[in-house]
Amino acid sequence: MSGENRVFSREFKKRVAERILDGESVSSLHHELHIQRSLLYRWRDAYHKEGAAGLQRPVGRPSGMPAAPRPALSPEDAAAQHIVVLERKIAQQSLDIDFFRRAFKRVKESRRNNTETDGTASTERSEPYGGAPGSHRTAALALAPSAEPARPPADPTSLPTWNLTNSIKNATPQEKK
């Protein structure tokens, strides 16, 4: 019964409200009638305040009724309201610009620090290595010095000692491109 919209008569609501006011528990009525406790409390309060007339009026706007039209604004009021909306947009855009300025400044500082300390600077895009399909090694790895190729050691236990940064630093200027 919980999914249905049940309509209760004013007389039914009055009898239930009188039972509650006579001392019967709301929980027992809830279980007996399968009506939400909050609705039973609303009926009790309305009957206590206004009598049977309080149970007659519906709560809220009837279904299917359109909302009441808003009064038309004068041109000055409409313009003032539009200005307020635009000022909010400007304030939000100003906050966005400040955020991106600070973020861009941090990125520039991070890149500057990486180049000063010979760290690897981030690149815009890695170029795919011409190996097997789906292989995406960077061009720096593919163009390691010919005297000593930059490859990971065959012994898996020594993998932590192999360093991509060293491979890139040891590459010749032509190979870094």
Distance CA 90, CA 22 (A): 62
pLDDT digits (tens, 9 = 90+) for 49-95: 888 888 876 666 667 777 777 788 899 999 999 999 999 999 999 99
Query: Which pLDDT does position 119 carry in this prediction?
Result: 54
pLDDT digits (tens, 9 = 90+) for 98-148: 999 999 999 999 988 887 766 555 555 555 555 555 444 444 444 444 445
Could you tell me the residue ranges of all domains in the chain? 10-55, 127-152+161-177
The average pLDDT across 164-173 equals 51
163 neighbors 152 (Cβ within 8 angstroms): no
pLDDT digits (tens, 9 = 90+) for 9-49: 889 999 999 999 999 999 999 999 999 999 999 999 988 88
Query: Which pLDDT does position 91 carry in this prediction?
Result: 95
Q: Which tokens belong to 42?
A: 């609303």
Q: What is the 3-state secondary structure (H, E, C) of the chain?
A: CCCCCCCCCHHHHHHHHHHHHCCCCHHHHHHHHCCCHHHHHHHHHHHHHHHHHHHCCCCCCCCCCCCCCCCCCCHHHHHHHHHHHHHHHHHHHHHHHHHHHHHHHHHHHHHHHHHHCCCCCCCCCCCCCCCCCCCCCCHHHHCCCCCCCCCCCCCHHHHHHCCHHHHHHCCCHHHHC
Count CB atoms within 10 A of the CB of residue 112.
Answer: 11
Distance CA 157, CA 143 (A): 25
Report the range of poorest mean pLDDT among 3-7, 40-44, 99-103, 154-158.
Answer: 154-158
Query: Which pLDDT does position 138 carry in this prediction?
Result: 46
The average pLDDT across 147-167 equals 50
Query: Which pLDDT does position 159 carry in this prediction?
Result: 47
Distances from the Cα of 99 to the Cα of 95, 108, 122, 147, 152, angstroms? 6, 14, 21, 48, 41
Residues 6+ apart with CB under 8 A from 136: 126, 128, 129
Query: Which pLDDT does position 40 carry in this prediction?
Result: 93
Distance CA 165, CA 118 (A): 9
